Chain A
Amino acid sequence: MKRKIFISLIISFIIVLAYNVQARAEIDITRITTNSYEDSFPCVKDNSLVWQGHVNGHWQIFLYNIEDGRTTRITNNNYDSIAPRTDGEYVVWFGACNQGGEVFQYNIATGQTTKITNDTNVDSPPRIASGRVVWASHVVGDSVVEPGEINLFEIGGSSVQLTTNSLDDCSTQINSQFVVWLQIDENDNSTLFWYPLPDGSAEPAPEDFIWKDSPQTDGDLTVSMRNDGSDWEIIVSKDGENGFDQVTDNTINDRDPCISGNNIAWMGGEGKDSEIYLATYAAAVCYGDFDKDGDVDGSDLAGFVHGNLSKFAENFGKTDCIQPPL
């Protein structure tokens, strides 16, 4: 009789696992901001999460340390500071402090803010990677905002102008290998240019060059949005795998996600109700691997039965699909 029960247990375990062995990610969501003003455009890298918050009539830049949970307000100005980006060590943004605006940089380790530009040019919001900052700068001439030129600034070093021509160089991107941008000619045609780092030369990018980097992709994970019929939700997918994991499932619009490692940030809500959220994402786990040794075997059965006899008895013999616990 005991043997029959044992065999039944094993069969039942296998049946239960057959229904339950499936991928299920672990996602823990933290609401980073709780305030009455608008928070938007988050960017996360390593342990640093930055965003802009509209405080007392102006956009200000905020930094959240994921490791220790501390929020730092980086700017406190009577002008707008927008479009923050971080490489994990520095934060850069566009500050509308004067005509044309300026590019700013904040050292996360020292807490020091530095104005990278100080001119009357119209500067675009900067991008940063590995301590290098790029932006397009438009000189203001007589009644004309001149076509843009691309500038590169190495933090701790100096600024270099990568282009000098009469065409409009704009739409910059940077990673650890390249600066890329669009050059728009008089006929409004655009050509992709690149500048190999650290000290290459500006030239048209090869025909088959494709810019791959995005704040929405890190490694084999990509975060994005999905409209569920009533609003936008955040999802995460893994390269080479069908489907996705749903990060949010609520009644507000969740938008503009970004990812670094297993940290996913986004903004949720509209206007003054919008807040910044952060999720830690653990890749799919195999349900049934209770001892977390990477497989599902007898030791998992033993572990499962131990202390779960009532649940086991309840599930035994069921033929309907049993959902794994949430």
Chain B
Amino acid sequence: MHSMQLKKSALLTMLCTFFFSLCGGLLIISPALAGDKSVCPLGCDYNSIWDAVIQVNSEGGGTVTVGTPGRSTAETYYETIPLFEGVNVVSEGDDTEESYTDGTYSTTALKRAKLTIINGGGGAASVVRCPKGTPDTSLDGFTIDNINGADTFLITIGDGSPTIINNIIRNNQGSGHSGGIGLQGFGAGVPSPRIENNLIHNVYGPGIGNGPNSQAFIKSNTIWDCYGDEGTGIGLLGKTFPTIENNTIFENAQAGIGSCYRHPNGSIGIEAMGGTLTIPTIKGNTIYNNKAGIVLARAEGDSGTINVIIGDSSAGNEIHGTSDVAYWASIRLEGLTEATIENNYIHDHFLAGISLGDMAMTTIRDNEISYNQAGIEFDSDCLNATVENNEIHHNNKAGINNGVETVGHPVGGVDSLIVQNNNQIYLNGEAGIAIKYVTSTNTIGHNIIRENGKAGIQVFKAASITVQDNQIYKNGRAGIRNMWENSLTVTGNDIYENQRGGIEIRNGTGTIAQNTINQNQHGGIGIKKACDFEISENQINDNLRGGIHTGENMADGGGFMDAPGSAILTITKNKVYGNGLSSYGGGIDVRHASGIINNNLVYENHKGGIRFGDDIDEIVNNTVVGNGESGSGAGIAYDDLTGDVNASPTGCAPTGIEIKNNIATDNEMAGIFVKICSDNPCPSSLERDFNLLSRNFGWDDNPTCTGTFPQSNQCKFQQLAGCSAYLNEIIADPLFVDSDNDDYHLQSISGGYSANSPAKGAGDDEYDMGAYGGSDPIITP
């Protein structure tokens, strides 16, 4: 025989062997065992299930088949039965399904289950008891019905792993926890049944109650109408480890899945008992219109590690309510060690979509959370949480709430909150992210935060906030509002079209850098109260009001609520242009601030380029071009705050400050307008020098102020608002590289270009004048 043929033959033999093994297996398994018994009212081995089960058990095991073959009306057996090891109890018939209706709810059930009823007769005992079963023990296809006792389940499993399948389990009118299936291991008992494809309803207590030691596998059941204080769909109590997958759980009086929460008799819940409790991933379930969706809370006084996973990348849960049902949070976790909530669809709950209290570590990812009170809420001393790649939208309050008071929200928040990796936070009724937890450290990066009813990010209280590389736009108030004395770092964000300012600062210290802030309906960065910020390397353009401003649009400093000078600002290397589209606001208008304004490129703002007050320390190396309109707007101007935002500058600076190396050209009014108190002298050359001015105050056709007296003198004076240029100040065309296209670098032949000055550099520091000069120049494309 050829070797290839041999291989084919061997393969064929193996396949045949496998095939006939299967067939043989069926043939061997199919015939009734000697211990099998039938049960029906007439003509069967027994007319009592109890008797048949006892007999089969005494014969070493087998199957008890219940029901008259071919029956079309239900047969009811008024008894209670035990399940023994090796004894399968099965209703007679095939697996034909038909409709099953309870009130307004209709589903399907096995026809044989509907036609085979074991009725507890309203007694106080369980209909089915399984003190100890094995995997080949099953209860398959019955209606388990009607008891009325205290703390008694229709089916009680204390140990072993029977299969409870295809049953209808209903009507327990008892008290306490008188639910559908009770799983509690006493002593060494570990109930680990497979509970699958059952309908469980109308019971007083949990549909399936997992007590201590339960390791049940609970899959594809439908559970509804569990009522009473312990009326959860699937209850968890004590140290319990059930696997819960693909169930449909709805309209239960308490949580769909969960521990008793805020039970009238005190705090009871799940327990680690000093060890570790890891609940298998809860996934694939549809949970709706319960009082809460999933509630897992640690029992009072318990210690140890409790880990929970709700959904994973393969399957999540859908958890929802309707407007008049579902009073609590969709998912409420409390006092647990670690939780991961992944890939769930959570919507329409009266309280939060996800509510977390006293959690040590929580990861929330890939969920859609919508139409709840808030999207995600933290309270009660949570420690760490990471929120990533979720879609959080249309919640009535904030999308993510770290500590803001809401209905049903205990005091507290999460210490370390990380919101990252493409969370889509939009159209929530209040802020996209609201933070009011004074000890919290918050990091918000790479998210979309848009169209929320109030601010994009609202900080009432926090220890620190880092906002990095987000898209923050079209929110109802400012893109970012900071109200607290925290550390705030805002870098790399695009902040635009918000319906108030881009960033509103009312407190805090920190950095605002490398952001693009444009076309917001108020200013780009608004400073309203005392603070200490470095504002650098931002592009701030086309905001309807000022680019960077303190105060509001009113006279006498209105809108700035602290003492002048209490806003300490380091404003450097920003590109500020086109602001003040509403005609209210210029480029940098910081009359209430102290600090420095260096190396900024400020052009074509609708009012003044740079306006400062009593407390600014220096204005150096700025390029200020083409600001102002309609007779208003100087290049660099002092103002004493007595006028409104559009009033002409007034007053005198109490002391001279360093105003050097600036280029101020083409501004509507003077290039530099500063006088010193009390007699309004011009600043000394130690204070103001090395500036380049040209074409300000309408002298567009005479950039060097040449010509005959008095026009030439008038031109020169108007460049400096009545002051003369000092020795190192230049009145000449700055010779920008391409001002028509907003390129304000200097040509090498410019007077402000350092190499062009043989004796020394153009500026007092021998660098170029303007924003691109100095030791730390602005960098623009």
Task: Indicate which residue in B422, B469, B477, B555 contacts A182 across the interface (CB closer than 8 Å).
Answer: B477
Asked if A255 contacts B471 (CB within 8 A), the reply is: yes
Q: A212-B394, A214-B451 are known contacts. Are A101 and B500 too (CB-CB below 8 A)?
A: no
Since A94-B581, A125-B521 are in contact, a sample of 18 more A-B pairs with Cβ atoms closer than 8 Å, ordered by chain A residue number, is A41-B519, A57-B604, A80-B542, A82-B581, A96-B581, A98-B583, A122-B583, A122-B584, A144-B644, A171-B500, A171-B521, A182-B453, A208-B396, A209-B429, A210-B427, A224-B448, A242-B343, A271-B781
Beta-carbon contact of B741 and A214 below 8 Å: no
Report A188 CB to chain B, min CB distance, Å.
9
- Known A-B contacts A124-B521, A227-B446; A99 and B630 likewise in contact (beta carbons under 8 Å): yes
A145 and B643 contacting across the interface, CB-CB below 8 Å? no
Q: Which residue, of A123, A145, A182, A209, has the highest number of chain B Cβ atoms within 10 A? A: A145
> Nearest Cβ distance between residue A296 and chain B, in whole angstroms?
25
Taking a contact as CB atoms under 8 Å apart, the answer to whether B477 and A144 are in contact is no
Q: Which residues of B contact A210 (CB under 8 A)?
A: 371, 394-396, 427, 429
Query: B84 interface residue, CB < 8 Å from A?
Result: no
In the complex, are the beta carbons of A182 and B454 less than 8 A apart?
yes
Q: Is the CB of A171 within 8 A of B477?
A: yes
Contact B394 A100 (CB under 8 A): no
Q: Could you tell me the distance between the alpha carbons of A94 and B476 in the complex, rounded to whole angstroms? A: 18
* B31 nearest CB across to chain A (Å): 35
Question: Which residues of A (27-84) have their CB < 8 Å from a CB of B?
Answer: 41, 57, 59, 80, 82-83
Q: Answer yes or no: B497 CB below 8 A from chain A CBs.
A: yes
Q: How large is the interface on A (under 10, 10 to 19, 20 to 34, 35 or more residues)?
A: 35 or more
Interface contact B606-A124, CB-CB below 8 Å: no
Q: How far is the CB of A136 from chain B (nearest CB, A)?
A: 8
Instruction: Answer yes or no: A226 CB below 8 A from chain B CBs.
Output: yes
- Return the chain A residue nearest B552 by Cβ: A145
B471, A225: Cβ atoms under 8 Å?
yes
Contact with B along A145-159 (1 / 0, CB 8 A): 100000000000000
| B427 lies within 8 A of A214 (CB) | yes
B424 near A: Cβ within 8 Å? yes
For A182, the closest partner residue in chain B by CB is: B476
Contact present for A82 and B323 (CB under 8 Å)? no
Min C-beta distance of A210 to chain B, whole Å = 5
A44 CB, nearest partner CB in chain B, Å: 15
Is B582 in contact with chain A by the CB < 8 A criterion?
A: yes
Q: A80 near B476 (CB under 8 angstroms)? A: no
Nearest-CB residue, chain B, relative to A217: B427
Can you offer 22 A-B residue contacts whose CB atoms are under 8 A?
A41-B519, A82-B519, A83-B497, A83-B519, A96-B581, A96-B582, A100-B584, A101-B581, A122-B544, A122-B583, A122-B584, A143-B555, A182-B454, A182-B499, A210-B371, A210-B395, A211-B429, A214-B426, A214-B450, A214-B451, A232-B471, A242-B343
Distance, CA A197 to CA B583, complexed state (A): 32
A182 smallest CB distance to B (angstroms):
5
Q: How many residues of chain B have a CB within 8 Å of chain A?
A: 53
Within 8 A of A (CB), among B731-781: 740-741, 781
| Other-chain residue from A144, A190, A227 in contact with B454 (beta carbon distance below 8 A) | A190
Tell whether, in the assembled complex, residue B519 and residue A211 are in contact, meaning their CB atoms are under 8 Å apart.
no
- Docked Cα-Cα span, A123 to B581, in Å, equals 10
Interface: B647 (CB within 8 A): yes
Chain B residues whose CB sits within 8 angstroms of the CB of A255 once the complex forms: 471, 494
Instruction: Write the B401-427 contact mask toward A (1 if CB under 8 angstroms, else 0).
Output: 000000000000000000001101011
Measured CB to CB, the nearest residue on chain A to B528 is A188
| B325 in contact (CB, < 8 A) | no
Residues of A near B421 (CB, < 8 A) are: 227
CB nearest neighbor in A for B741: A272
Any chain A CB within 8 A of the CB of B242? no
Alpha-carbon separation in the docked complex, A226 to B366 (Å):
13
User: Is the C-beta of A256 less than 8 angstroms from some C-beta in chain B?
Assistant: yes
* B446 partner residues in chain A, CB cutoff 8 A: 227
A100 touches B582 (CB 8 A): yes
Residues of B within 8 A of A82 (CB): 519, 542, 581
Q: How far is the CA of A99 from the CA of B632 in the complex (A)?
A: 12
| Interchain CB contact under 8 A, A145 and B553 | yes
- In the assembled complex, the CB of A146 is this many whole angstroms from the nearest CB of chain B, namely 9
Interface assignment of A264: CB less than 8 Å from any CB of chain B: no
Whole-angstrom distance between the alpha carbons of A27 and B739 in the complex? 40
